[in-house]
């Protein structure tokens, strides 16, 4: 490894640090303004906090599309979703030794989580007639020359992006219906009880937003440079380094919540973030792709996404279902799912 490699790696770490700190300040400022306006805590939780922890992934995805590197979008989403369950839940269970789950996951987020998985599979795999033609052409090219360009063989179209975003809207509607009492607990009717507006809240929103934009741009740039240095696909670096870095807010929130015994927040943070990533972090870049770097539609990317990352995410959700259905998550189960994350990273970099 030459000095330039370590310089790029260091700059990538700094860029992700700026991205995460700026996202945190943006969330803090937005939450303060929401309290001043009398928005209910429940609405703040499923919008500002849920969006805030996934905000780095979203802005990074938009910059990736602008630069025509949209394989980073899918790689970051899949890598982040896998890290949210295997890394975050695993570390939390190891530190907490064991915790009991009282939240009714089976009739709550789990069906939506698995539904988002199926929808993602339908939009990223080539199931249309046109997509099948691309596959057939690729197979012919490989059989004749022994090589082929897999980089543009699957796409997420504008219409599919609309469907993904509609799925998130339905999720919010469903969640709001199930928690009508919490929605009604805002302070809109008690203006005297609201905190006073602080100009620093607005400053944090603006500074945080600017920091996220700058941090995301350089994160994408340095990630692409690093992928070139390591002779890896952009989606591999996205699913590992970028996904790990952008999952740090969820990890910090989860560890803090587990120390306070609030294990329901840990699960809500993990499931909510994965649902947002699948529907929104893929959906919004898919909408803007025709007008930005990709020209027509959002490219899915290389073999790593279709043959490793998505199947591993499907297996991750199956493992998640097994370990949470008995309403208890033990330290042993925590080690098992953490080792599954080690296996994913090892496979991603072809270590084993």
- Report the chain's C-alpha Rg in angstroms: 21
- Residue pLDDT, tens place only, 62-119: 888 888 888 888 999 999 999 999 998 898 888 887 777 766 666 667 888 899 999 9
Cβ contacts of 47 within 8 Å, gap of 6 or more: 172
The structure tokens listed for 132 are: 């099948």
> Which secondary-structure segment (H or E) carries 100?
strand 98-100
What's the structural domain count of the chain? 1
Global model pTM greater than 0.85? no
Cβ contacts of 177 within 8 Å, gap of 6 or more: none
Phi, psi of 40 (to 5 degrees): -65, 145
CB of 274 closer than 8 Å to CB of 81: yes
Q: What is the pLDDT of residue 77?
A: 93
Q: What is the pLDDT of residue 319?
A: 92
Contacts 24+ apart (CB under 8 A), 196-205: 196/36, 197/33, 197/36, 198/32, 200/29, 201/28, 201/29, 201/32, 201/33, 201/36, 202/29, 202/33, 203/29, 204/25, 204/26, 204/28, 204/29, 204/32, 205/26, 205/29, 205/30, 205/33
* Dihedral, 173, 179, 182, 183 alpha carbons, nearest 10: 20
Cβ contacts of 44 within 8 Å, gap of 6 or more: 31, 34, 35
Low-confidence ranges of the chain (pLDDT < 70): 1, 27, 31, 34, 37-53, 102-108, 127-153, 178-195, 197, 257, 260, 262, 293-296, 301-302
Q: What whole-number distance in Å separates Cα of residue 236 and Cα of residue 230?
A: 10
Domain holding 41: CATH number? 1.20.1420.30
Write the burial class of residue 196 (CB in 10 Å: 0-12 exposed, 13-18 middle, 19+ buried).
exposed
Q: What is the pLDDT of residue 13?
A: 86
Q: What whole-number distance in Å separates Cα of residue 61 and Cα of residue 220?
A: 9
Q: What is the pLDDT of residue 190?
A: 52
Residue numbers of the domain that contains 327: 3-348
Q: What is the pLDDT of residue 150?
A: 43
CA angle 226, 281, 300 (to 5 degrees): 60
Q: What is the pLDDT of residue 149?
A: 45
């Amino acid at each position: 490894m030459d000095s330039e490699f370590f310089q790029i790696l260091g700059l990538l770490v700094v860029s992700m640090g700026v991205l995460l700190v700026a996202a945190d300040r943006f969330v803090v400022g937005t939450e303060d303004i929401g309290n001043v306006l009398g928005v209910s805590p429940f609405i703040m939780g499923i919008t500002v906090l849920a969006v805030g922890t996934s905000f780095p992934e979203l802005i990074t995805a938009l910059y990736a599309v602008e630069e025509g590197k949209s394989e980073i979008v899918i790689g970051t989403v899949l890598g982040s979703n896998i890290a949210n369950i295997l890394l975050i839940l695993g570390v939390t269970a190891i530190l907490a030794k064991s915790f009991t789950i009282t939240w009714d996951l089976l009739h709550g987020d789990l069906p939506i989580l698995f539904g988002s998985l199926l929808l993602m599979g339908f939009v990223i795999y080539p199931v249309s007639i046109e997509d099948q033609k691309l596959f057939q052409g690729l197979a012919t090219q490989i059989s004749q020359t022994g090589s082929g360009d897999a980089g543009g063989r699957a796409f997420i179209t504008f219409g599919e992006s609309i469907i993904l975003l509609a799925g998130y809207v339905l999720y919010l509607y469903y969640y709001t219906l199930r928690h009508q009492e919490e929605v009604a607990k805002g302070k809109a009717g008690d203006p005297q009880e609201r905190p006073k507006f602080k100009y620093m809240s607005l400053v944090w929103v603006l500074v945080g937003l600017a920091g996220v934009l700058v941090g995301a741009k350089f994160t994408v740039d340095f990630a692409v440079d690093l992928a070139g240095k390591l002779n890896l696909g952009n989606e591999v670096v996205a699913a590992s380094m970028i996904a790990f870095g952008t999952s740090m807010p969820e990890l910090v929130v989860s560890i803090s919540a587990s120390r306070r015994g609030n294990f329901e927040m840990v699960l809500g943070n993990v499931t909510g973030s994965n649902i947002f990533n699948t529907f929104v972090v893929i959906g919004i870049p898919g909408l803007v792709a025709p007008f930005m770097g990709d020209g027509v539609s959002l490219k899915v990317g290389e073999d790593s996404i279709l043959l490793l990352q998505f199947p591993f995410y499907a297996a991750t959700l199956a493992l998640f279902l097994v370990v949470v259905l008995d309403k208890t998550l033990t330290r042993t189960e925590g080690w098992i799912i953490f080792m599954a994350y080690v296996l994913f990273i090892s496979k991603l970099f072809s270590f084993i």
